[in-house]
Structure formats: C-alpha cells, structure tokens
C-alpha cells in the first residue's frame, strides 16, 4: 500500500478551483478514495496503482490551471519483497 499526498497550487482558502477538483476526480475515477484536506489531499492505493493515480492527479491538475503540484509517495507497511 502506498500513501500519496498531494498539494496543488494556486491555493485559495475555502474555494478549490478546477485545477484541484479535476485532480481529485481523476484519482477517484481510478478507484482512489481521497481524503480532501484544507492544504492538501491524500489517498492510499495499491503499489501497482500508485503510478497511474499519481500521473492522473498531475495531468488533471496541470491541464486545469495548476501552477505547481507537490506529490509525496510513501510505501506503508514495510518494503515490498
């Protein structure tokens, strides 16, 4: 399992723009359950799906006006053998 955390800018307090909502929708379309936060969002996905979800988030965000996307990926539960 991989934890993907992402922050998409520009940031507007309380009013996520289409660059944010499109990224969330893209991840959800791939089956990711998004934990939407005020400064960033996160999801947990299988290792095999992490690259596809991360790529979809970045593509959707940048295609909809994002100026910056920060993405953090962390493998949970130890290393995979």
Q: What is the pLDDT of residue 15?
A: 81
The string of pLDDT tens digits covering residues 18-56 is 999 999 999 999 999 999 887 789 999 999 999 999 999
Res. 81: pLDDT tops 70: no
Query: Percent of the chain beyond pLDDT 70?
Result: 95
Q: What is the pLDDT of residue 79?
A: 60
Q: Which residues pair with 36 in a beta bridge?
A: 41
Structural domains of the chain in order of their starting residue, each with its CATH number = 2-75 (3.30.70.930)
Distance CA 38, CA 59 (A): 21
- Residue 48 structure tokens: 């095999």
Number of Cβ within a 10 Å radius of residue 79: 5
- pTM, two decimals, is 0.89
Q: What is the mean pLDDT of residues 60-75?
A: 97
């Amino acid at each position: 399992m991989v934890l993907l955390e992402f922050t998409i800018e520009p940031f507007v307090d309380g009013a996520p723009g289409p660059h944010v909502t499109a990224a969330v929708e893209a991840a959800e379309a791939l089956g990711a359950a998004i934990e939407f936060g005020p400064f960033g969002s996160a999801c947990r996905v299988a290792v095999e799906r992490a690259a596809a979800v991360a790529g979809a988030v970045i593509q959707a965000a940048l295609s909809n006006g994002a100026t910056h996307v920060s993405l953090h990926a962390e493998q949970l539960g130890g290393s995979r053998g």
